[in-house]
Structure 1
Amino acid sequence: MTVPKFGVGTFRLKDDVVRRVVSDALELGYRAIDTAQGYDNEAEIGEVLAGSGVPRSEVYVTTKIKPPNYRRDALLASLRESLEKLRLEQVDLTLIHWPVPNGEVRPEEYLSALAEARALGLTREIGVSNFNIAGLRQAREVLGDVPLATNQVEIHPYLQNRRLVAFAQEQGLHLTSYMTLAVGKVMGDPVMQAIAAAHGANPAQVALAWAMQQGFSVIPSSTKRENLAGNLRAQDLHLTDEDMRRIAGLEEGEAARIASPESARPVWD
Structure 2
Amino acid sequence: MSEHHADHRADEKAAGSARIPAVALRSGYDIPQFGYGVFKVDPGQTERLVSEALEVGYRHIDTAAVYGNEEGVGRAIAASGIPRDELFITTKLWNDRQGGDQPPAALQESLEKLQLAHVDLYLVHWPAPANDQYVNAWTHLVSLNEAGLARSIGVSNHLVEHLERIEAATGVLPAVNQIELHPAYQQREVVEWCAARDVHIEAWGPLGQGKYDLFGTPAIRDAAASHGKTPAQVVLRWHLERGNIVFPKTVNRDRMVENLQVFDFRLSDAERDAITALDPGDGSGRVGAHPSELN
**TM-score normalised by length of structure 1:** 0.93
CA contact (8 A) 1:152 1:176 kept: yes
Determine the C-alpha separation between the residues in 1 that align with 2:164 and 2:264. 35
Determine the C-alpha separation between the residues in 2 that align with 1:197 and 1:143. 49
Q: Could you tell me which residue of structure 1 aligns to residue 168 of structure 2?
A: 141
Point out where structure 1 has 5 or more consecutive residues left out of the alignment: none
Q: Displacement, 1:254?
A: 1.6
Q: Could you tell me which residue of structure 1 aligns to residue 86 of structure 2?
A: 58
| Letter matched to residue 189 of structure 1 | T
Q: Could you tell me which residue of structure 2 aligns to residue 88 of structure 1?
A: 116
Q: How does 1:84-163 map to 2 (within 5 A)?
A: 84-103=112-131, 105-144=132-171, 146-163=172-189
Q: Could you tell me which residue of structure 1 aligns to residue 13 of structure 2?
A: none
CA contact (8 A) 2:62 2:247 kept: yes
Q: Displacement, 1:237?
A: 2.8
Say whether residues 1:13 and 2:41 are aligned partners. yes
Determine the C-alpha separation between the residues in 2 that align with 1:50 and 1:224. 22
Q: Could you tell me which residue of structure 2 aligns to residue 259 of structure 1?
A: 288
Q: Displacement, 1:84?
A: 0.3
Determine the C-alpha separation between the residues in 2 that align with 1:237 and 1:33. 24
Determine the C-alpha separation between the residues in 2 that align with 1:53 and 1:167. 40
Q: Could you tell me which residue of structure 2 aligns to residue 211 of structure 1?
A: 239
CA contact (8 A) 2:33 2:244 kept: yes
Q: Displacement, 1:5?
A: 0.6
| Letter matched to residue 52 of structure 2 | D
Say whether residues 1:78 and 2:106 are aligned partners. yes
Determine the C-alpha separation between the residues in 2 that align with 1:257 and 1:217. 19
CA contact (8 A) 1:111 1:142 kept: no
Q: 1:183 aligns with which of 189, 209, 223?
A: 209
Q: Displacement, 1:267?
A: 7.2
Determine the C-alpha separation between the residues in 2 that align with 1:82 and 1:112. 18
Moved more, 205-214 or 184-193: 184-193
CA contact (8 A) 1:3 1:149 kept: no
- SS of the residue corresponding to residue 152 of structure 2 reads strand
| Letter matched to residue 285 of structure 2 | A
| Letter matched to residue 287 of structure 2 | I
| Letter matched to residue 224 of structure 1 | N
Structure number with bigger Rg: 2
Counting aligned pairs with the same residue, the percent is 37
Determine the C-alpha separation between the residues in 1 that align with 2:266 and 2:170. 36
Determine the C-alpha separation between the residues in 2 that align with 1:241 and 1:65. 38
Q: How many residues are treated as equivalent by the alignment?
A: 263
Determine the C-alpha separation between the residues in 2 that align with 1:225 and 1:123. 30
Say whether residues 1:25 and 2:75 are aligned partners. no
CA contact (8 A) 1:94 1:127 kept: yes
| Letter matched to residue 136 of structure 1 | L
Determine the C-alpha separation between the residues in 2 that align with 1:54 and 1:152. 26
Q: 1:202 aligns with which of 193, 216, 230?
A: 230
1:86-129: per-residue Cα shift (whole Å, max 9, x none)?
000000000000001221x4333111011111122221110000
Determine the C-alpha separation between the residues in 2 that align with 1:240 and 1:178. 24
Moved more, 150-159 or 72-81: 72-81
CA contact (8 A) 1:222 1:228 kept: yes
**TM-score normalised by length of structure 2:** 0.85
- SS of the residue corresponding to residue 95 of structure 1 reads strand
Determine the C-alpha separation between the residues in 2 that align with 1:182 and 1:213. 17
Q: Displacement, 1:165?
A: 1.5
Q: Displacement, 1:192?
A: 1.2
Q: Could you tell me which residue of structure 2 aligns to residue 37 of structure 1?
A: 65
CA contact (8 A) 2:219 2:271 kept: no
Point out where structure 2 has 5 or more consecutive residues left out of the alignment: 1-23, 25-29
- SS of the residue corresponding to residue 72 of structure 2 reads helix
Determine the C-alpha separation between the residues in 2 that align with 1:32 and 1:98. 21
CA contact (8 A) 2:128 2:293 kept: no
Q: Displacement, 1:164?
A: 1.6
